[in-house]
Chains A and B, each alone.
Chain A
Amino acid sequence: MTSPAAVFSVPSVPGSSPEAPLRVGGLTLQSRLVVGTGKYASYAEMARCLAASGTDCVTVAVRRERLVNAAGENILDHLDATRYTILPNTAGCFTAADAVRVARLGRELLRDLGNPGSEWVKLEVLGDTKTLLPDPVGTLEATERLVADGFAVLVYSSDDPIVARRLKQLGAASVMPAGSPIGSGQGILNANSLRICLEYLKDGDPEYPVIVDAGVGTASDVAAAMELGVDGVLLNTAIAHAADPLRMAVAMKAACEAGRQAFLAGRIPKKLYATASSPLEGTIAAPRPGP
């Protein structure tokens, strides 16, 4: 698939280096990967993969405590709350009202822990269970309510630039467009939409953080997202369900760094015809007829 000439280029912030941190919601993250804690074979494997990924921010869900086996393990037994910023999600919520409740419970849990993510929420308001696509109406409503309640809202959205812009206007700390459906592993299905999202969200505000969230399948998806100029990538299934999750976590770390470097380096344009890499003059070979 040939891509159209880029009309808009995501501006590199002057002075930014590959090591420059990601600033979002009043906090600074050293890694541009945000990694989920779900779907691992064990909490121990989860801990190893998070460490290998180099992330300093992880997502968690909020769920009813088991009332029967209260002596069971808790994820916090395997998650160092002093090492990671913990970002609670509102996964499983289909209404703004439920998402607001879950966000507030997540805040209470993290305040208790003293974790810097306590005033953050990864907001998800889902439209249906088959696609797990965000419900734009509920998402907009919940964003407005949670911003008013003092949250830094990192909001899961589609790659629709109009909704993305509305979410930013409502005060979202970061808009997080999906590359493809959650857990689907299809990577970025519509790079053109994502580029327009970047253009609209960073219009006059080049440091506004845009994080691709959902659908990452493998390392090249992360590199591709970073090359487009997104500020970070959030992923879970691509690591947790890889055949070798630990190795994939290593790959993701490298891909994120490679993509970020490539973006800052400024790629060559795509051209239809060839331009030789070796000099044209001085060759001993008989010239080929043109063109």
Chain B
Amino acid sequence: MPTASAGLTITVNGDSLSVAAGTTALEVVESLGLAGRPIAVEVNEAVVPRARLAGCSLEDGARLEIVTLVGGG
């Protein structure tokens, strides 16, 4: 039986991150200091609109991409 503190391993922008079970995408964004930034979030190759980040509970192995706009042609 998993312990109460069993965590998840997710990837964020290609890097591994350990988080607590039940962590939401919004909590990951906030923990990185990006809550007020102009970003968009993808979980497992699907865009999660900002309004749905709080309700997006992550599973073990979830792949997050947090992107922003940069200069380009």
CA distance A76 to B49 in the complex (A): 19
Total B residues in contact with A, Cβ cutoff 8 Å: 25
Q: Which residues of B contact A (CB under 8 A)?
A: 12-15, 32-34, 37-40, 42, 45, 47, 49-50, 65-73
Q: Would A60 and B66 count as touching, CB distance under 8 A?
A: no
Q: Would B38 and A105 count as touching, CB distance under 8 A?
A: no
Closest 7 CB pairs of A and B: A61-B72, A236-B73, A36-B73, A108-B40, A37-B71, A38-B71, A38-B72
- Give the residue of B38, B40, B42, B66 whose beta carbon is less than 8 angstroms from that of A67: B66
- 0/1 interface trace, chain A 210-234, chain B, CB 8 Å (1 if under): 0000000000000000000000001
Total A residues in contact with B, Cβ cutoff 8 Å: 40
Contacts of B14 in A (CB 8 A): 64
Q: A177 at the A/B interface (Cβ < 8 Å)?
A: no
CA distance A71 to B45 in the complex (A): 26
Q: Would B50 and A112 count as touching, CB distance under 8 A?
A: yes
Contacts of B70 in A (CB 8 A): 38, 60-63, 75
Report B14 CB to chain A, min CB distance, Å: 8
Other CB < 8 Å A-B pairs besides A64-B14, A70-B32, 15 of them? A37-B73, A38-B70, A38-B71, A43-B71, A59-B73, A61-B71, A61-B72, A62-B40, A64-B68, A70-B33, A74-B68, A86-B69, A101-B47, A106-B69, A109-B40
Report A152 CB to chain B, min CB distance, Å: 18
Q: Would A60 and B72 count as touching, CB distance under 8 A?
A: yes
Q: Would B38 and A113 count as touching, CB distance under 8 A?
A: yes
CA distance A87 to B13 in the complex (A): 23
Contacts of A247 in B (CB 8 A): none
